Amino acid sequence: MIEVEGLTKHYGKVHAVEDLSFSVQPGHVTGFLGPNGAGKSTTMRMILGLDRPTAGTALINGSPYRQLSRPLHHVGALLDATARHPNRSAYQHLRWIAASNGIGKNRVDEVLALVGLSDVAKKRAGGFSLGMGQRLGLATALLGDPEVLLLDEPVNGLDPEGIRWVRTFVRSLAAEGRTVLVSSHLLSEMAQTADRLVVIGRGQLIADTSTEDFIKNHSARSVVVRTPHYEEFLSALEEEKIEAHRDTDAEGRPTIVVPNTSSDEVGALAYSVGVLVEELSEQRASLEDAFIETTGQAVQYQAEEK
């Protein structure tokens, strides 16, 4: 379990993190989201004892990271996939880190196999692609078979198969009862991976909730209607003072979009006026839509709209 309470970090006049509090529970994948400059990396570094907070605390299973004996047995982290000696092989890189925490050689072989790097274990890590570097970083995080994992952009540089593998693997780790915190800018991937979300902006908490509730509470839904009685149903909606607008589907067929309502309500109206409906589907905005709506005022750098 990760517990962050009143965490604050100032760099002179820059307030990177401000009075931030949240917890990450075991058994779930928690997505850690925020715009660039929101303070995500700084927060993760403070949790891992790499940066000293100006105020507040960050505890891992009740203790600060600095007080953990052989910390790799408790916490695994991937913050920078390029943090490796370029002239060491993947095996050597993992072996010296494992030795520092009393982890045996067999575990090095196991994690190399887990991340699919067994065949290149003896190759220089400096020649690895970005995706291979990410896999090596994940292997490093898993060395001590830890209860807690902090992963910053773990799918960066991976191909679709690799992304899918990370998603499945991370969810399996959480299902084993581990605590998993994942930061990513790939919101479509987070929507499939994270059970819960912690969203921050300008160093402050914006949301701490389930992924489903975040999307539901921060984005509107709409109903798409396709009917041969197009104008008749538009008139019925107008008479009921229900907002609607014309659209077309992917095949170019005319549709009616009714925002901020449910298919039950729209279907009941169609039935009451005797209109045949060929399609009646609810559409909800994506995690990306909800994220942009929620964090729009917390974006550090904004381009002008044309």
Q: Residues 160-176: what's their mean pLDDT?
A: 92
290 falls in which pLDDT band (50, 70, 90)? confident
What residue ranges define each of the domains in the chain, with the CATH number in brackets? 2-74+146-217 (3.40.50.300), 220-284 (3.30.70.980)
Residue-wise pLDDT tens digits, 21-53: 999 999 999 999 999 889 999 999 999 999 999
Interatomic CA distance for residues 285 and 264, integer angstroms = 18
303: confidence class by pLDDT, cuts 50, 70, 90: very low
Share of the chain above pLDDT 90, in %: 75
In the predicted model, is pLDDT for residue 302 greater than 70? no
The whole-model pTM stands at 0.81
**What band does 299 get if pLDDT is binned at 50, 70 and 90?**
low
pLDDT exceeds 90 at position 19: yes
